[in-house]
Structures are given as C-alpha cells and as structure tokens.
Amino acid sequence: MHSISKQKGNFSIEFALLGVVFATLMIFTSDLVIKLSMQGKLDRLSYSAVNILKERTQLYSPNNSEITNASTLELHQIITQSLQRTTGDYSNADMSTTFESLTFSDNTTSALTTINQSGGCSLTQTLRDYDALSMITSWGRRASLYRVTICYETDNWAGELLGSDFTTIQSSSIMMGR
C-alpha cells in the first residue's frame, strides 16, 4: 500500500501541469478576445468610412465621384481619431488603410483608383475583381463601387506560443455608389 506522504509529490506535479494548461488556455482566450474586439471596431469603421466615401456625390457635388488623396487622408484621420478614442493602447504606426473606387465611363469600361494611407493594406483581390456587384441604375449607367480596407497590427500572444504570426486584423467594406 502507498502511504499518503509519498503521494503528495504526485499531487504537486499534477497541479503544476494543470496550472500550465490553464495559463495557456487563458493566454489563447485573452488573445482571441483582444483580436475580436479590434475586428469589431474595424468592421464598424470600414463600413462607416465607405458610406462617407460613397455619399460624397450627395454631400458635396454630383461631379465628385473620383476619390482623391485629400479626401482619403481626411477619412484616414477620422478613422485614426476614432480608434484613438476607443482603443487604450492605440499606435499610429500599427494602422493603415486602403481606399478603392471603381468607376465606369460606359457600361463596360472601368477605371480603378487605389489610394493607400500609412502604407496601405495587403489585399489578395482588387475591387475590379468585384465588378459584378455593380448594377445598372435607373439612369442606364453602371453604379460605381467603393471599398475601404483598414488594417491594424495587434499583439501576438498566442502566435508566440505556436511559433506563428497572428498579428494583422483586417476589415474591408464594399459599397455601391449612387
């Protein structure tokens, strides 16, 4: 029969192993919560920014359908200020944006404009790949498409344990113009 004094070491080892497993689980959970929180913020901001971008023709003038560096810089600053207010450890160096517009001179010929702010985001597809989303308006012309993509570099807690890189959070919103 085993004595209780000899089993105390087993309990200590099991407790230490469970502590390591629990701490690892907490790191993964914390990293996931931080990334999901940032993803939600970027989703809301990209949707709001693309709506502002598409409504320029309604807000300023009907001839204001092309995006410019000045208008995208202004939107980039609005996004930056919003993230500064809502994110405790925000860093300008970690955020970048890409603005795209796809306009049609006739129903088949399209012109893509892409403007990057603070380095821009790495995109796997351009807005031209989504041109099928544009429809013919009641005036017989194809509607312009706009896309705003926001990228933010987060901490890599879980990735460091796995030896991988899970830092970039990216949100992209596409909207059809008027």
**Domain spans in the chain, listed from the N-terminal domain onward:** 4-176
Per-residue pLDDT of the chain (178 residues; tens, 9 = 90+): 566 555 666 778 888 889 989 988 888 888 888 889 999 999 999 999 999 888 876 766 666 667 888 888 889 999 999 999 988 888 888 899 999 988 887 767 778 788 888 887 888 888 888 877 888 877 777 888 899 999 998 887 777 666 677 778 899 999 888 7
The C-alpha atoms of residue 83 and residue 61 are separated, in whole angstroms, by 29
Residues 128-155 as b/e (b if ≥16 CB within 10 A, e otherwise) read eeeeeebeeeeeeebbbbbbbbbbbebe
pLDDT at 56: 76
Cα dihedral 114, 119, 123, 126 in deg (nearest 10): 10
End-to-end CA distance of the chain: 84
